[in-house]
């Protein structure tokens, strides 16, 4: 009886694990990010990207003309298809989406500064 019960329990576990949403971790990851939009103002390869009109997509009441400098952005730049793009492919005037961790910190300087550890991804919009 115990063997049958264990067999049923193991089969149930395989069924539950096999039917889980494989994309749930991706959805959770997106929930752990804050998305901003803006326009590239300046690119300094191997250093930083200056973004103007930096706005939280969830809070369009953000003031216009906010400038933010994003540091050490070498490996986090992608195109709309989420293919890696070199920082040198970004030009002044390019529209971007910036994905930050929810615990991001903007240093209160002029312009504001966001360090690499808070930058999840920068997506160039075509």
**pLDDT at 9 (0 to 100):** 54
Tell me what the mean pLDDT of segment 86-105 comes to: 94
* CB distance 29 to 86 below 8 Å: no
The CATH number of 24-125 is 2.40.50
Share the mean pLDDT of the chain. Answer: 81
User: For residues 47 and 56, is the Cβ–Cβ distance under 8 A?
Assistant: no
Q: Report, as an integer, the average pLDDT of 73-87.
A: 89
- pLDDT score for 26: 42
């Amino acid at each position: 009886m115990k063997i049958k019960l264990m067999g049923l329990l193991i089969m149930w576990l395989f069924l539950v694990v096999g039917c889980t949403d494989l994309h749930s971790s991706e959805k959770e990851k997106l929930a752990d990010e804050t998305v901003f939009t803006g326009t590239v103002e300046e690119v300094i390869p191997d250093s930083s990207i200056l973004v103007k009109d930096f706005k939280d997509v969830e809070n369009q009441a953000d003031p216009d003309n906010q400038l933010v400098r994003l540091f050490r952005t070498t490996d986090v730049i992608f195109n709309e298809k989420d293919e890696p793009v070199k920082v040198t492919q970004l030009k002044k005037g390019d529209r971007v989406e910036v994905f930050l961790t929810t615990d991001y910190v903007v240093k209160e300087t002029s312009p504001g500064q966001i360090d690499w550890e808070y930058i999840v991804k920068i997506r160039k919009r075509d």
